[in-house]
Amino acid sequence: MAPALLRSRLVIGALLCILLSSDVGVLRRAAALGINYGQVANNLPSPPQVVSLLSSLCIGKVRIYDVNPQVLSSFAGTGIELIVTVPDDLVPPMAASQAQALQWITASVRPYFPATRVTGIAVGNEVFTGDDEQLKASLVPAMRNLHAALAQLGMDGYVHVSTANSLAVLATSYPPSQGTFTQEAASYMAQLLRFLAETNAPFWINAYPYFAYKDDPTRVSLDYALSNKSHVGAVDPNTRLQYTSMLYAQVDAVTFAAARLGYGNVPVHVSETGWPSKGDANEVGATVENARAYNRNLLVRQVSGEGTPLRPKLRLEVYLFALFNENMKPGPSSERNYGLYQPDGTMVYNVGLVQQRSTTSAASLSLAISPANKRDVRKDFAGICLFTSSAILLITQAFLL
């Protein structure tokens, strides 16, 4: 080995040892990763305790499924981005009346903004794959009325409006270049994508490779479903793009489907993805080991700023499901076992996240976000949180060359 190369590796090795001997870990800072904070449980910690946990992990983006006042108040001054949700039953009234949309925002969001950094409103959840035709027809009109109400309040430059879709809106997802919306969803999708393009909002997709593996474990590669980078992956025969992650292939399939309707430039974000750590006897693959591998692989990709093969320079924005195991969720056992944490605050498994022992108050990062000041605090928060993990990843990669 050349002396110069040996010296450089020794220096890198020494730096790596110093970093790893401190109280920071490779994946300690997770500001790049969003997380879903569900509350379908009767044993969860209080919202202030949850916010304290999130802040200690330096998680910078959170999605909730309501507009709980205690939760919204607890996020004030943290700098954490928050997506809130309009429940399905309020969608038709908001579609019928802009006044209803304005009243909801005025009562449920405006009192907490900008101290609580609400950056998105999810309208309904997986509406286009449900059975309620009135709800489907009402969704985009309600979104338009909500956006108009935000504009009236001067908030439209800070809060975008979208809706989370099930991957079942796709009739074809493989290969990604053949991604196509179902015939039933296509007419609604054209309206939705037009609105998203006009308002610079993302298309949100709930995507779970776990389901593909569970349904056909003999034909679906576990490594591919888990996004293991060591896996050769799959090559799209039309684009020749190589996919080592099923999730990233699913996202690109949505992008291709949107392009077929003329909206290929609308960004696709993952509003939910995860892997259960426990399931019923017929739920193949629902294990702690697989859940740890899936979420850790995803976190590594997020910290490294990785994009999909179709959009490699644009880091894929992902919200992991979920923060806690939720004991009151209906359905099979897996539904109650997607959490990184137990309700008592102990980890179900460790993906590499480490709580900070001491940190500068997150409130000092949020400062004042007012309509008169469009400074993006997210950049400050994420930059500080990602510095250590990104540096360690780069040093690790250089050391292994």
221 contact partners, CB below 8 Å, separation of at least 6: 231
Q: 119, 159 in Cβ contact below 8 A?
A: yes
Structure-token match 């809060």, residue found: 159
CA distance 252 to 243: 10
Q: 155, 168 in Cβ contact below 8 A?
A: no
The identity of residue 237, as a single letter, is P
3 state SS of 386: helix
| Whether 126 is catalytic | yes
131 contact partners, CB below 8 Å, separation of at least 6: none
For strand 234-235 and strand 242-243, is the pairing parallel, antiparallel, or unpaired?
antiparallel
| Whether 133 is catalytic | no
Q: Which of 81, 133, 272, 306 is catalytic?
A: 272
219 contact partners, CB below 8 Å, separation of at least 6: none
Neighbours of 5 (CB within 10 A): 10
- For residue 62, the cross-strand partners are 35, 82
CA distance 193 to 206: 16
228 contact partners, CB below 8 Å, separation of at least 6: 244, 293, 297
3 state SS of 318: strand
Closest CA to 201 of 164, 165, 160, 147: 160
Q: Which of 126, 283, 306, 326 is catalytic?
A: 126
3 state SS of 269: strand
CA distance 12 to 20: 12
Q: 348, 277 in Cβ contact below 8 A?
A: yes
* DSSP letter string, 72-95: HHHTTTS--EEEEEE-GGGHHHHH
Catalytic amino acids? Answer: 126, 272
